Amino acid sequence: MNKKTIFKWFVPQKDNHYQPYALRKKALTFYIAIIFGLKATVGFLFFAFPQPTLGAQISIQEIVNLANQARSEVSLAPLKLNAKLNVSAQGKANDMMAKQYFAHVSPEGVEPWFWFDQAGYNYTYAGENLALGFETAEGVHKAWMNSPGHRDNIVNPNYKDIGIAIIYGDYEGSFTTIIVQHFGSVETTTPQEIPAYPAEKETPEEIKPLEKPIIPAPDITAPAPPVILTPSPNALTNKTEITITGQAEAGASVLIYENKEKIGQTIADKNNRFRFNTVSNFSDGVHSLSAMAIDSSNNRSAFSKSLAVTIDTVPPAIDLEQSYILPTYLEPLKNFDVIAYVTGDPSEVKATSGENEVILKTEESHLYRGVIERSESGVWIHARDRAGNIATAKLNAAQNTSATRSRTTATQNDGWNIFLSAIDQISNNLIIIFIAAIAILLLANILINIKKQNSKIIGGSLLVIFASSIILCV
């Protein structure tokens, strides 16, 4: 192609009647066809090659329910989900993932009981089950029940509590699941009963009683009702064991009640203060606490003013079926839009990726959104409620995600989604550049034809610029 031909195509001049071939009706029709064809191709790729279907998330409650179902079949009481055992199981799971081992005893020789002690669970009996690579609660429970040692833990009559931890991550080169199941029963101590009267002292033999003993008037004055100072009224906590403190008559026995049922007692010290730690774990819900004082003459006070404490050990729920991340249009391989669907009335929802962190804002009911720079570790959602419960889940660059899939599936899924988004972004950028180039040629054409006073060509060029702007907006 020589210089003269190039000028005919792109420069308004006498040889092309001041209307370059590149701006004529056929050429513009061809450009529009290419633009819509490119966008249609990208859309077809998204439609024709959907992301792979992923497995469902394993639920802690499902594992607990399956264990209790197995116990009921052999006439055993159900296990209660214990917050401290959840902590001990989580510690063991994190340690195995971090140090890349799968065993009851770590490479350093740390035994399972270490994690019970770390969590402050004063066990009488304790046990541990482990699982690796399972995708459903039913699958891991069936495997445990088919193993005599693991089955013995599940149906052990000595166990009263259970704790579960489920984590996802890279283990020996594969993205997989580690599940830890901790069992136990807590040492319980019965509070020592306080005698109604102090023990009488023996009278020395050399001292004879008076012929007319003086009998003191009996103490019939009831002590003032105790005052509970902590926990505060209408407190909300995720702790199932509560410390109750308050004030009462010095030396008096203070009886503690929960929903008007006695749960224990303690003694007020010389400074009129008492302290009581609950022995049994409180269940989720509202609990009414009160106290009564009994002095040395067995006079009973009225009940203290009741206060309500709400126990909430259930963390917010992150719905991975409706939570996902997508590359942004500005930097599709770096910044990601995070969309998280969280229920359970969270007080804070944030996303993290490596050292990057962003607080997600509420757009509508249960929906939280933000933008984060994604690292190789992926994007994690953390939701905290007012009671202090925390839920954590990993998201991937696709809808309907689940952390229980294999590393290969996750890599292919994320990579394909990023690839298509990158193509879409590149096509958008090419279209913008292309239309901008046409607009520049049209403006040059308009300026030249203004000098030639060719109003017909000027009007046609303005019409093309307007049409190009509409296409750019679309």
pLDDT in tens, 205-251: 333 343 444 455 566 788 999 999 999 888 899 888 889 999 999 99
Residue 401 has pLDDT above 60, yes or no: no
* Residue 105 placed within a domain: yes
pLDDT at 322: 80
Look at phi and psi of residue 124 and say left if phi exceeds 0, alpha if psi is from -120 to 50, else beta.
Answer: alpha
Q: Angle between the 455-473 and 407-452 helix axes, to the nearest 10 degrees?
A: 160
* Residue 190 placed within a domain: no
Q: Mean pLDDT over residues 367-372, rounded?
A: 88
Report yes or no: 250 and 268 within 8 Å, Cβ to Cβ: yes
pLDDT at 411: 36
Output the domain CATH number for residue 300: 2.60.40.10
| Same-domain pairing of 288 and 322 | no
* Residue 292 placed within a domain: yes
Which of 310, 154, 184, 141 lies closest to 242, judged by CA? 310
| Same-domain pairing of 32 and 101 | no
| Same-domain pairing of 275 and 323 | no
Mean pLDDT score of the chain, rounded to an integer? 78
Instruction: Please name every residue paired with 253 in a beta bridge, in sequence order, or none if there are none.
Output: 267, 294
| Same-domain pairing of 336 and 364 | yes
* Residue 156 placed within a domain: yes
Q: Mean pLDDT over residues 359-373, rounded?
A: 85
Structure-block tokens of residue 429: 């950028």
pLDDT at 30: 79
Structure-block tokens of residue 380: 């994690």
**Residues of the domain holding 324:** 317-395
* Residue 41 placed within a domain: yes
Structural domain count of the chain: 4
| Predicted structure pTM score | 0.39
Choosing from 311, 342, 370, the residue where a domain stops is 311
Instruction: Tell me the percentage of the chain whose pLDDT exceeds 70.
Output: 70
Choosing from 185, 218, 252, the residue where a domain stops is 185
| Same-domain pairing of 168 and 65 | yes
Minimum mean pLDDT range among 215-219, 251-255, 271-275: 215-219
Choosing from 167, 185, 203, the residue where a domain stops is 185
| Same-domain pairing of 178 and 116 | yes
pLDDT at 472: 52
Element housing 472 (H / E): helix 455-473
* 300: DSSP letter: B
